[in-house]
Structure 1
Amino acid sequence: MNAHQERLDTLCTIATPEACQIDLRVAGPVSRARAWFIDFFIRFAVWLALVVAANSVGDLGVGLMLLGAFALEWFYPIIFEVYRHGQTPGKQACGLTVVHDDGRPLGWRGAFLRNTLRAVDFLPLGYALGFVASLLNPYGKRLGDLAAGTLVVYVETRPSRDLSTDDGLGSEAPPFALTRDEQIAIIEFTRRAGTLTRERTAEVAAAAGPLTAGLDGAAAEQRLRRIGNFLLGGHRATSSRQ
């Protein structure tokens, strides 16, 4: 997997063997925890239904209830992730999916490994080990994801921005000369603004310092994107002359 040294938001870029690039936005611990709680309540509701049904069967019902609880805990996520394109109901509700590190759809081996190792991630309590592991790597992976070679990412619902896309903001020359690295950073921000959260775009725009002095929020973001459009126009003009 190849990723930019300085990534905006949680976006990572995967280079495929066909020389194509796929942009994926890695899910953070909060969104993953929200999906887990949704799945937990679904499993709990099904388990309660099993308990009610087991009470009417007698002693045999206890065995069926334990078997159902085991299946819910271990096979629920595996079956859904394999047959529902990497999405349990909780992940689908939160706009998440599981893929391999190279962007391929999740298969049986990956789903089995990442979900079996949830027992290790849970240690010593409440997925503490998995949470610590997710903070120690740039892709938010718990131990199960590291072993299985998987990523939990957001499902892309918006088309990615292209260099030729007209955002209707116009262009604006920078107030002073910019270094090459500064120009690249602004162009990258302009191209990817459509894939970032509103809070993140405002944060990045505010960090631009003198370029957005006296502005905040949407106004700062729009000025930075206008400067990016100006720089993109210059790059296109240079390319056409060559």
Structure 2
Amino acid sequence: MLDTVREVHTPEGVALRLPAAGPVPRALAWAIDLAIRLTLLSVCSAIFGALGEGGMGLYLVMLFLVFWAYPIVCEGLFNGQTPGKRVLDLRVVSGDGAPVGWLAACVRNLMRTVDMLPFGYACGLVSSLADPWGRRLGDIVAGTLVVHAPRVQAQPLVPGAEVAAPRVALRPAEQAAVVAFAERAPRLTPERQAELADIAEPLTGMRGADGVVALQGIANWLLGRR
């Protein structure tokens, strides 16, 4: 299987792994958005049709807004997600992993006129199949990327572990290790938890079961669970 994960580095030196979305989930998201737009147009047609010639002018304005402004406004206001992308857990981001801006949202969506050529999004499909990260021409020009962005549910506090700040400053790698321990601890035996927590005795000042609880409390603090 091809690796479609794009790794970028922030100015702070943090590596971000962006799981690029392929043409299939993107096509499904587009189909959902198309169904929504057609529904909106059907409702508008029924309403404006009763207004005669004036209603026809309003309908043409709505037709333009629904097919061109809809994706731009949604991506600009809702963190790179249209309703279809939200259902499929997709999101448009900048090439460096930052939130997509209004200019990039405009460019990538206006470039659909090229991606649609000669018919059925043929140019866009060829581009997404040829590009390592599944980008269509609009994404390449706008410097954007469509990624998988599953919704993350907030986890509750670890039972019995009160929030506690670490006694010493922790480096990023140490912070990641503490958080990883708290996330994996429920899947480990109590003996294995205590064994790992003993390694962090200089940080917690405790060993055994008390060290496990103390380490989980620090993880809660690092995750902002007040």
- TM-score under structure 1 length normalisation: 0.63
Q: How far does the alpha carbon of each residue in 1:17-44 deviate from its partner, in whole angstroms, 9 at most, with x for none?
A: 1101111111110000000000000000
Q: Secondary structure, in 3 states, of the residue corresponding to 1:12?
A: strand
Is 1:17 aligned to 2:11, yes or no? yes
Instruction: Give 2:37's aligned residue.
Output: 43
Q: Which amino acid aligns with 2:37?
A: R
Select 1:99's aligned residue among 93, 99, 104. Answer: 93
Is 1:154 aligned to 2:148, yes or no? yes
Q: Unaligned stretches of 5+ in structure 2?
A: 154-175, 190-226
Instruction: Give 1:72's aligned residue.
Output: 66
Q: How far does the alpha carbon of each residue in 1:193-216 deviate from its partner, in whole angstroms, 9 at most, with x for none?
A: xxxxxxxxxxxxxxxxxxxxxxxx
Is 1:52 aligned to 2:52, yes or no? no
Shift of 1:81: 0.1
Work out whether residues 90 and 150 of structure 2, in 8 Å CA contact, stay in contact via their aligned partners in 1: no
Q: Which amino acid aligns with 1:92?
A: R
Q: Secondary structure, in 3 states, of the residue corresponding to 1:153?
A: strand
Q: Secondary structure, in 3 states, of the residue corresponding to 1:56?
A: helix
Q: Which amino acid aligns with 1:87?
A: Q
Shift of 1:12: 1.9
Q: Unaligned stretches of 5+ in structure 1?
A: 1-6, 171-242
Q: Which amino acid aligns with 2:95?
A: D
Where in structure 2 are the equivalents of 1:58-207 lying within 5 Å?
58-157=52-151, 166=184
Please list every run of at least 4 consecutive aligned residues from structure 1 whose deviation after the TM superposition is greater than 6 angstroms.
none
Aligned length: 162
Shift of 1:136: 1.1
Instruction: Give 1:28's aligned residue.
Output: 22
Greater C-alpha radius of gyration: 2
Shift of 1:9: 4.0
- TM-score under structure 2 length normalisation: 0.67
Structure 2: distance between partners of 1:169 and 1:92: 34
Q: Secondary structure, in 3 states, of the residue corresponding to 2:7?
A: strand
Sequence identity percentage: 44
Shift of 1:111: 0.2
Structure 1: distance between partners of 2:133 and 2:78: 23
Structure 2: distance between partners of 1:10 and 1:138: 7
